[in-house]
Structure 1
Amino acid sequence: MKYLNPVIPGFYPDPSVVKVGEDDFYLVTSSFEYFPGIPIFHSKDLLHWEQIGSVLMRENQINLGGSRSSGGVFAPTIRYHDGLFYVIVTDVTGIGNFFVTADDPTGPWSDPISIPYGNIDPSLLFDDDGTAYVSIQNGEGKESHIIQYEIDCKTGEALTEPVVIFNGDGGQWTEAPHLYKINGMYYLLCACGGTGEDHRAIIARSANPYGPYERLESPILTHNKLPEHPVQNIGHADFVEDENNQWWAVFLGTRPVQQMYTILGRETFLAPIRWTEDGWPVIDQNEGHVRVIMESKHLLGTSNMRERDEYYDDFNEDQLATSWFHLRKKKDESYSLNERKGWLRLFGTADHLHTKNGAPTLLCKPQQHVKMEFSSMLDFSPAHDGEEAGLVARLHEDAHYEIGVKRIEGETIVFASVTINGETKEIGRKSFHSSNIFLRIRSDEEEYNLDYAVKEGEWKALGASPIKYLSKEENGGYGKVFTGVCLGLYATGNEKASLTPAYFDWVNYTGMVLMDN
């Protein structure tokens, strides 16, 4: 049966997965500067994933107030032991390495428990005797390596001194270690080569958790010699075994537009694993290649092949859907679903979308398709200059496009603006004399289009800008940008708090699935 990659499209990188019971799989990904931190997904078949919540829901668990874009929460690992779920992670601009626990994956999760040693990408293995090993990256660049030590899984206290167990394959940034015990052997899976074009996953094994480790000579995942392939930068993997004793790898990859521009960020892919006669896990006959359309006789459920994805939120519930992000923190007074039933009310703060390390009033989700439409109806009558609300496509503070309504020198306008390399300019405006307006952001393989309508369905173009300016390649590359474009609803007072509420009636997203293999 055929299936479609990525299994979780859009900016959901660094996947880690665990199976609990007979057929329940749970997966977490990085969230960087967005709050709540660490989205958690559930699946019965590894193909169809539903977000069931987030791990870090409280500011006493994660405070992202000072986090730079592409800072914050890096590379979680999820594991299960003795009735408890564990997620271990790094807050690179905050408290460092820590783990949290829960007896239910939907939460609540515990307060953070810090661990003492290592740089980024911590992982846990609970051995047969209950010993809890932390494997974690240490060092930088070509000096990057993996250290390991034992902890008290209740307190985080180190029970042993850290020991270097693996130095990789000679490339830079040996990281993202995951340690498994399979058939009496310890297998150490790592990422290497950085997160760009040379990214890869490598595997080593030993009869002892501290080594010495024998490395499989070739990577088990990489497209670093396939520059024309539609999937690039694959690596940072995790393994899981299903109820039929079939092993699978989840891992990140990108789908550059025009083979040049990554706007969706790093996404979650899936591939079956085959074990060789001499006990090595390999992917794609050990060529380490994957495709958008894959085929496997080992699939657990129905195929996920489809032509489009859609979501619609009418804001009729008392709580926001679990899949929404805020930027760095949520100021509860800025958001309401109860003041006007069936509408989301936003109050803008002084922060704007370009405020460095700011926390503007923003509700967003990762863009999941290159060709898509994102629309909403806004009821907003700004009474003071600077008050503004609308839709945004955001990569970070220095790269975003928006269409919205604002008041300037006593006049209310609908406008389109772009921020490119930190410079903001208006690319379209019209006077606006009503309160209700329909707004839309569209994208394809060439550009984003910013549209509005006074009457539903009667869309008018207000501006357009190339997609490349929201790509990681035009904004510093993989060394600086670890996220993808998010689409959202926002409000701001532009340097002072807005006194006028903005009401959004609904939001609709339609994405066309590209099956370029």
Structure 2
Amino acid sequence: MRNNLKALLALCLITLFSFQAFAQTGYRNPIIPGFNPDPSICRVGDDYYLVTSSFEYFPGLPIYHSKDLVNWEQIGHCLTRDSQLPLQKVNASGGLFAPSLRYHEGVFYVICTNVSAGGNFYCTATDPAGPWSEPIWVAIDSIDPEIFWDEDGKTYFVTQGNEGIRVTEIDIKTGKVLSPEHLVWGGIGGRFPEAPHIYKKDGFYYLLLGEGGTEYMHSATIGRSTSLFGPYESCPLNPILTHANRRGQANQIQGVGHADLVQAKDGSWWMVFLGFRVTHQWAYYHVLGRETFLAPVDWPKGGWPQVNGNGTVSLNMEVPTLPLHPFPKAPVRTEFNEEKLGFEWQYLRNPIRENYSLTERKGWMRISASPYTLDEAESVSSILRRQTQHDFTAATLLEFDSLSENEEAGITLIQNNSHHYDLLLKKSGGQYTVQLRVKVGSLSYIAGEKQVNGNKLKLKVEGNPSQYSFYCAEPDSDQYSELGRLDTRYLSTEVAGGFTGVMIGLYTSSNGKDSKAKAYFDWFDYSVKE
């Protein structure tokens, strides 16, 4: 009897572990939260890799890795050197648009457009974590490029034109254009046909597009042909993904489109795409930027792909998943004890490197003041990371060595150089003062102000879907004083424009004058409510 019980228990445990490994259900969208638009994906064996757009931020084009399509961790950036990515004086939402990530014969390719300097290019690597090559430029005037290798051994550059999608043969070693551009398909009539991806399946060339513009009318459409150059037949289900209809009109997720497809090792198909989460039911605003979402796809042999049954998605996806492989959660606190900043941190444009140090004072991030301000399209002295959820807390301990009243340092919530909220420490009348400053278009004013006892201060920001609240405290105290509360909507894309999302930054500036001021940040906390 005892042996039978042991055998039964062992069988139950095996069944339980097997169920957990192979029959897991459900995940939460977005899979990569915060400003991570234009996702493109590829699979190599059991591993999945994904890239998103980064616009004016440096390093450029974050690279993510996953084992299950649901859980992702950043493993690097494609463009980490100034020679790869010139961003000097690039306007907000300039720089890098819409990358594509592909793998071919042992080599990874990231294909992209620097709309501010150089145009279309691709970089290569044998390890997606890098290092990546210098850009190989392609002399085709367009955006949203893709590389497609056909069965005839030729390599084709696929791009967006105003009238539709174009296909051109290139030399993959040099980027040289080898043929005229062929207009192959203009989509189903939506504006801005873009984001082309081509897949060869069951004897057909399938061409996936984004249409309708990357706002509320966005969608994904698909056509197919027996020839790469068309003509392409439109899918009878088009658009295969959209929330620009009655079915999607009340969904918190809006603007879905700009998609890419991947087949998992088990044969299932999945789609990654951008979308954004709105914060008000009847007056839509979004502050987090366009994020990366995931949906299952039913794609029968010889048929058309159908996204999540009806072409819509939800925040909570109750669908079967691959066996889940979560990564450890990122720590709330950054101690600035490492030799380099984590991948989550970026700079506004190419950094002036001597303005930053993690070694001058061990355990502190030193940022030296530059004359540039957050109002300018310049290399502002700042390090920034994405706001990834509406409900969050961000805090830091700042020590500011300043001699002049034109110098300041603190935390910024920045959508672009004309829309940001700043919680800053500065001298005023010989005393240190903490200020809450608002910059919204042509309006700039001080929303809150308080004298403090010295040059060392805790600063804190708390966010929810409708408001940001700003606080300060003495360095050895957890008794925070409130400076003010500001509406999130004035940092939304609907108000500020552009293609990015809110970034949370630590910064210092001398407001147009030469300066020797230095800001030292002891730690930075970032926590979210899921």
Per the TM superposition, whether the score is higher than 0.5 is yes
* Residue 185 of structure 2 is aligned to residue 166 of structure 1: yes
* Residue 482 of structure 2 is aligned to residue 482 of structure 1: no
Secondary structure of 1:468's aligned partner: helix
CA distance in 2, matches of 1:28, 1:484: 17
Q: Cα deviation per residue 1:453-486 (whole Å; 9 max; x = unaligned)?
A: 103321110111111100111124xxxx111100
* Residue 275 of structure 2 is aligned to residue 253 of structure 1: yes
Q: 1:174 Cα deviation (Å)?
A: 0.4
CA distance in 1, matches of 2:35, 2:375: 20
TM-score by length of 2: 0.92
- Which structure has the larger Rg? 2
User: Which of the residues 39, 53, 67 maps onto 2:90?
Assistant: 67
CA distance in 2, matches of 1:447, 1:473: 16
User: Which of the residues 411, 415, 436 maps onto 2:435?
Assistant: 415
Q: 1:112 Cα deviation (Å)?
A: 1.0
Q: Does structure 2 retain, via aligned residues, the 8 Å contact 1:367–1:485?
A: yes
* Residue 191 of structure 2 is aligned to residue 177 of structure 1: no
CA distance in 2, matches of 1:97, 1:10: 26
Is there any run of 5+ residues in structure 2 with no aligned partner, and where?
1-24
Secondary structure of 1:494's aligned partner: coil
Q: 1:108 Cα deviation (Å)?
A: 1.4
Q: Cα deviation per residue 1:252-283 (whole Å; 9 max; x = unaligned)?
A: 00111013111001000001110146411111
CA distance in 1, matches of 2:520, 2:314: 42
Q: Cα deviation per residue 1:83-128 (whole Å; 9 max; x = unaligned)?
A: 1111010111111111111111121111111112241100111223
User: Which of the residues 134, 138, 153 maps onto 2:172?
Assistant: 153
Q: Does structure 2 retain, via aligned residues, the 8 Å contact 1:3–1:303?
A: no
CA distance in 2, matches of 1:125, 1:408: 60
Q: Does structure 1 retain, via aligned residues, the 8 Å contact 2:26–2:321?
A: no
Aligned residues: 500
Q: 1:157 Cα deviation (Å)?
A: 0.4
User: Which of the residues 225, 231, 235 maps onto 1:206?
Assistant: 225
CA distance in 1, matches of 2:200, 2:301: 18
CA distance in 2, matches of 1:309, 1:283: 31
Q: Which has the higher helix share?
A: 2
* Residue 251 of structure 2 is aligned to residue 229 of structure 1: yes
TM-score by length of 1: 0.94
Counterpart AA for 1:164? L
Q: Does structure 2 retain, via aligned residues, the 8 Å contact 1:276–1:282?
A: no
Q: Does structure 2 retain, via aligned residues, the 8 Å contact 1:398–1:423?
A: no
Q: Does structure 1 retain, via aligned residues, the 8 Å contact 2:55–2:500?
A: yes
Is there any run of 5+ residues in structure 1 with no aligned partner, and where?
none
CA distance in 2, matches of 1:298, 1:405: 48
Secondary structure of 2:373's aligned partner: coil
- CA separation of 1:131/1:295 partners in 2, compared to 1, >3 Å: closer, same or farther? farther
- CA separation of 1:17/1:72 partners in 2, compared to 1, >3 Å: closer, same or farther? same
CA RMSD of aligned residues (A): 1.6
Secondary structure of 1:473's aligned partner: helix
User: 1:497 is matched with which residue?
Assistant: 514
* Residue 489 of structure 2 is aligned to residue 465 of structure 1: no
Q: Does structure 2 retain, via aligned residues, the 8 Å contact 1:334–1:347?
A: yes
Q: 1:68 Cα deviation (Å)?
A: 0.9
Q: 1:129 Cα deviation (Å)?
A: 4.1
- CA separation of 1:457/1:129 partners in 2, compared to 1, >3 Å: closer, same or farther? farther
* Residue 23 of structure 2 is aligned to residue 2 of structure 1: no
Q: Does structure 2 retain, via aligned residues, the 8 Å contact 1:378–1:505?
A: yes
User: 1:264 is matched with which residue?
Assistant: 288
CA distance in 2, matches of 1:348, 1:180: 50
Q: Does structure 2 retain, via aligned residues, the 8 Å contact 1:395–1:486?
A: yes
Task: Describe how 1:119-130 pairs up with structure 2 within 5 A.
Answer: 119-130=142-153
CA distance in 1, matches of 2:164, 2:384: 36
Task: Describe how 1:186-335 pairs up with structure 2 within 5 A.
Answer: 186-217=205-236, 218-225=238-245, 226-259=248-281, 260-276=284-300, 278-285=302-309, 287-301=310-324, 311-335=332-356
